[in-house]
């Protein structure tokens, strides 16, 4: 039998006399939508192991347990695949996504996305939740992806993401050399009017976008940068460096050459956030992808300063 997802809290003095509903909303970040789903789908609320209504008042040292209803898969097909799992606990999954794989199914690719593989992984372990990807990457961007293993964790992590409390570090190989070698790009981004996919810097209609960068190494006709985002606009890194005249290698959508690499040279190398349940820092790293590492090595060997 599948074990239900559940959370428990011992009620502190400052939460005594709150109702279950008030405690969950005010102290534990439950949304009205999540509480409605609990009610409609058969969730349970227990005080000291006895079932109670959500309007029941709490007392100091009570143990409140919330048992979540099983989640519907959302129509994501399960596809067996080898997942590069970096970390896992009952609420989080961190994976290293390869380039060439979408995070979510699309109209022309219903079975080979990262979500399809995660769903198969969940099915194999009878995990009663659907796939909640918190930090998505473009199909041709590789690296770390954070997944919430239940909708409560997803709600808390999504809230943290909107407050810029989930920090990701990227490495990118750009065309040419940045001057200065480290800095910040402030340039608003909007969808290009002539394209469904492409974005552009647009000073009139764009949304605020801020990118911090630092040169890690200079290469032949290129540079390896370490990048952190303050905002999360679609294609932000690709658009900003293309706008500055330094498109990412392999990024032909934004003017990058595909001679040295056939996909945009962008990899998420690190991710950091606070565990919303244990309130401790979570931090993970991964190596540069093999194709980008090979590209860096080749261009490094040709760089005059390295001869």
Catalytic residue annotation: 138
Q: Is the pLDDT of residue 297 over 50?
A: yes
Give the per-residue pLDDT at 188: 97
Give the per-residue pLDDT at 302: 67
Give the per-residue pLDDT at 4: 86
Domain with CATH 3.30.2350.10 in the chain: 85-306
| Residue in the block written with tokens 């559940």 | 6
Please give the average per-residue pLDDT across 4-23, as a whole number: 94
Please give the average per-residue pLDDT across 251-265, as a whole number: 96
Collapsing DSSP to helix, strand or coil, 94 comes out as strand
pTM of the shown model: 0.93
Bridge partner residues of 66 (DSSP): 7, 45
- Spatial distance between the Cα atoms of 184 and 241, rounded to a whole number of angstroms: 11
Cα–Cα nearest to 206, from 185, 190, 191, 193: 190
Q: Is the pLDDT of residue 65 over 60?
A: yes
What's the Cα-to-Cα distance from 94 to each of 21, 84, 135, 236, 243, rounded to whole Å?
Answer: 31, 9, 10, 22, 32
Please give the average per-residue pLDDT across 10-32, as a whole number: 94
Q: From the CB of residue 73, how many other CB atoms can be counted at a distance below 10 Å? A: 15
Please give the average per-residue pLDDT across 51-72, as a whole number: 93
Q: Residue 303: pLDDT band by 50, 70, 90 thresholds?
A: low
**What Rg value do the Cα atoms of the chain yield, rounded?**
23
Q: Is the pLDDT of residue 173 over 60?
A: yes
Tokens coding 217 = 């190494």
Q: What are 109-151's pLDDT values in tens digits?
A: 889 999 999 999 999 999 999 999 999 999 999 999 999 999 9
- Spatial distance between the Cα atoms of 224 and 230, rounded to a whole number of angstroms: 20
Give the per-residue pLDDT at 307: 42
Q: What are 141-159's pLDDT values in tens digits?
A: 999 999 999 999 999 999 9
CATH of 6-67, one of 1.20.140.10, 3.10.290.10, 3.60.20.10, 3.10.20.600: 3.10.290.10
Look at the domain 85-306 and name its fold: Pseudouridine synthase (3.30.2350)
Q: Is the pLDDT of residue 28 over 90?
A: yes
Give the per-residue pLDDT at 300: 86
Domain with CATH 3.10.290.10 in the chain: 6-67
Q: Cα torsion for 290, 296, 299, 300, to the nearest 10°?
A: -130
Q: 50-51 and 44-47: which strand pairing?
A: antiparallel
Question: What's the mean pLDDT when you consider all of the chain?
Answer: 93
């Amino acid at each position: 039998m599948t074990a239900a997802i559940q959370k428990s809290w011992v009620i502190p003095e400052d939460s005594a006399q709150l109702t279950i509903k008030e405690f969950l909303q005010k102290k534990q970040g439950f949304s009205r939508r999540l509480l409605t789903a609990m009610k409609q789908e058969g969730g349970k609320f227990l005080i000291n192991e006895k079932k109670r209504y959500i309007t029941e008042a709490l007392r100091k040292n009570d143990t409140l347990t919330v048992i979540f209803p099983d989640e519907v898969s959302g129509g994501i097909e399960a596809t067996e695949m080898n997942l590069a799992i970096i970390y896992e606990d009952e609420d989080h999954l961190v994976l290293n996504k390869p380039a060439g794989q979408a995070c979510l199914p699309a109209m022309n690719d219903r079975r080979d996305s990262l979500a399809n593989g995660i769903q198969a992984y969940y099915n194999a372990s009878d995990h009663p939740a659907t796939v909640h990807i918190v930090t998505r990457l473009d199909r041709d961007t590789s690296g770390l992806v954070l997944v919430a293993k239940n909708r409560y964790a997803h709600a808390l992590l999504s809230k943290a993401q909107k407050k810029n409390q989930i920090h990701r570090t990227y490495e990118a190989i750009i065309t040419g050399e940045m001057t200065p070698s480290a800095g910040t790009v402030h340039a608003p981004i909007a969808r290009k009017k002539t394209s469904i996919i492409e974005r552009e810097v647009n000073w009139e209609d764009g949304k605020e976008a801020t990118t911090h960068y630092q040169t890690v190494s200079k290469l032949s006709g290129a540079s390896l940068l370490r990048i952190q985002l303050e905002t999360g606009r679609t294609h932000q890194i690709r658009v900003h460096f293309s706008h500055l005249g330094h498109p990412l290698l392999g990024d032909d959508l934004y003017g990058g050459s595909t001679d040295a690499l056939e996909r945009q040279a962008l990899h998420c190398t690190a991710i950091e956030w606070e565990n919303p349940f244990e309130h401790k820092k979570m931090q993970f790293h991964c190596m540069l992808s093999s194709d980008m590492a090979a590209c860096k090595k080749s261009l490094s060997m040709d760089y005059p300063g390295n001869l």
